[in-house]
Homo-oligomer: A and B are copies of this chain.
Amino acid sequence: MPEDKYACVRLISKPQNLLKTIYTACRTCYSADSPLNIFDCESAQDKEKMLKLINRVISSGHYSTIEHVQVSFAISNISRACSHQLVRHRHVSFSQKSQRYVKEKGQFDYLIPDTIERNPELKEKFDNFMSEISKFYLELTENGIPAEDARAVLPNAASTSMVVSMNLRELIHLANLRLCTRAQTEIRILIKRMCEELVKEEEWLKDYLVPKCERLGYCDEDKSCGRKPTKEQIL
């Protein structure tokens, strides 16, 4: 995967007391003690102790406990094709740059798919074509067509930006699905960068932010990319 272009991603928010909140949630289910006491107890000062419990709870599939942590990312330089895929995840919150309300003033930004970029001749034609689209868009808006209608000519390649938020359960689900080689390159890189941004600050999450085959122990697609054997091979 070419990594030097595509999505710009930054983690802009995570909860105060991230670990302590999950730890308190996990212990509340199985304890006679109140969550207010658990939150204040000595163990909740001990990162290793908390992580040991949290890892055990997640490994046993008790994913609801990590819904208590929501993280937010600022994302730019992804294509509208990619954002159309992303907004299909219905447990995520989105604020996206509006093509209805934000009028392009000059050449719009766009993403060139890697397969096209590797072919110099097609790449040049692609760039020229984006320039032609831009000219026609500007002609439309200069003739009084509102941005919400002029955008009809803008391509899937056009760049967009968003703020997205999701809880850890959903981020792990996203990673499981979209880090799989079956996902399209652009969204795979986007999700990879979101995970990397978070793992920089919360290293313990590394083992969960993986393609689904790592979680299942096998590949459940028709054909495996080779990372894991298929379900049929293993069972």
Q: Could you list which residues of chain A lie within 8 angstroms of chain B, going by C-beta atoms? A: 8, 10, 12-18, 20-21, 24-26, 28-32, 34-36, 38-39, 60-61, 64-65, 67-68, 70, 72, 74-77, 79-81, 83-84, 87-88, 90-91, 93-102, 105, 110-116, 119, 122, 125-126, 129, 132-133, 136, 139-140, 143, 145-146, 148-149, 151-157, 161-163, 165, 167, 184, 216-218, 220-222, 231, 234-235
Query: Can you sample 26 A-B contacts with CB below 8 Å?
Result: A8-B34, A8-B36, A12-B24, A13-B20, A25-B163, A26-B95, A29-B98, A30-B101, A35-B74, A35-B163, A38-B74, A39-B74, A60-B222, A67-B93, A81-B151, A84-B84, A99-B156, A115-B145, A115-B146, A116-B140, A119-B145, A122-B143, A125-B136, A129-B136, A155-B156, A217-B234
A70 touching B167, Cβ below 8 Å = yes
B102 touching A32, Cβ below 8 Å = yes
Cα distance, A112 to B162, chains bound together (Å): 27
B35 touching A75, Cβ below 8 Å = yes
Q: Which 5 pairs of residues, A with B, have the shortest CB-CB distance?
A: A67-B93, A113-B149, A35-B74, A25-B95, A70-B70
A157 touching B152, Cβ below 8 Å = yes
Cα distance, A136 to B32, chains bound together (Å): 19
